[in-house]
Amino acid sequence: MAKKSNQSKTLPIYILNGPNLNLLGQREPEVYGYTTLPQIEKMCAEQAAAHGLSIVFRQSNREGEIVDHLQEARTSGAAVIINPAGYGHTSIAILDSIQMLKIPVIEVHLSNIHRREPYRNHSYVSKGATGIIMGLGAQGYLRAIDAVAENLKVKK
Ligand code: CA2
């Protein structure tokens, strides 16, 4: 009979992306860079694997669907990395969902929202985030994975 392993596998990092990020690389590259979302997903999967971790990578243009993904992460994720895109500036529902999580949450923005239009300077998501990384382009996602990996190692 096969031996039961007592090594518990770490749950995946949920990497959630908000509205319009599916169009990355196609418009405004001077603000958001040339890297497309599928390329970011591949980079994230490789970075997570280097830490012995896995990812669930999602993008949605719908606020309620992002809430659903955050609720899923409550029970099925080790941590959340979220670029809420435009919803970061408007969504109390997404903040509420984040505040229900008992796992680390890193907010990522490709651009530095504090250097941009005043309506982008405030993020509701920041109130619920463990940490925030912005202005580093696609590299920000990788640094967020590093931060999560460190955090999970400390907790082991
Ligand atoms: O800098 C970021 O990552 C943002 O979250 C991106 C959002 C913006 O609303 C936030 O203020 C900052 C916009 C994502 C729109 O994505 C585009 C993709 C391709 C072309 C133009 C926009």
Residue 108 clears pLDDT 70, i.e. is over it: yes
Residues 81-104, mean pLDDT to the nearest whole number: 98
Quote the ligand 1 centre to 148 CA distance (angstroms). 23
pLDDT for 81 beyond 80? yes
- Model confidence over 112-144: pLDDT tens digits? 999 999 999 999 999 999 999 999 999 999 999
Annotation says 124 is catalytic = no
Residue 31 sits at the vertex; the CA angle it makes with 26 and 32, to the nearest 5 degrees, is 55
CB 79 within 8 A of CB 148: yes
Instruction: Identify which of 15, 16, 21, 133 to mutate to test ligand 1's pocket (most ligand atoms within 8 A of the CB).
Output: 21
Closest by CA to 76, choosing from 102, 43, 50, 94, is 102
Two tokens, residue 87: 């919803």
**Pair of tokens at residue 2:** 């096969």
Write down the pLDDT at residue 7. 55
pLDDT band at 8 (very low <50, low <70, confident <90, very high): low
Is the predicted pLDDT of residue 4 greater than 70, yes or no?
A: no
92: buried, middle or exposed (CB in 10 Å: 19+, 13-18, 0-12)?
exposed
Average pLDDT over residues 3-21: 83
Quote the DSSP letter at residue 126. G
CA distance 10 to 31: 35
- What percentage of residues in the chain have a pLDDT greater than 90? 87
Compute the average pLDDT of residues 59-79.
98
The answer to whether residue 109 is catalytic is: yes
For 154, residues 6+ apart whose C-beta sits below 8 A from its C-beta are none
Percent of the chain beyond pLDDT 70?
Answer: 94
pTM to 2 decimal places = 0.94
Helix H or strand E segment including 156: none
Say whether pLDDT at 61 is over 60. Answer: yes
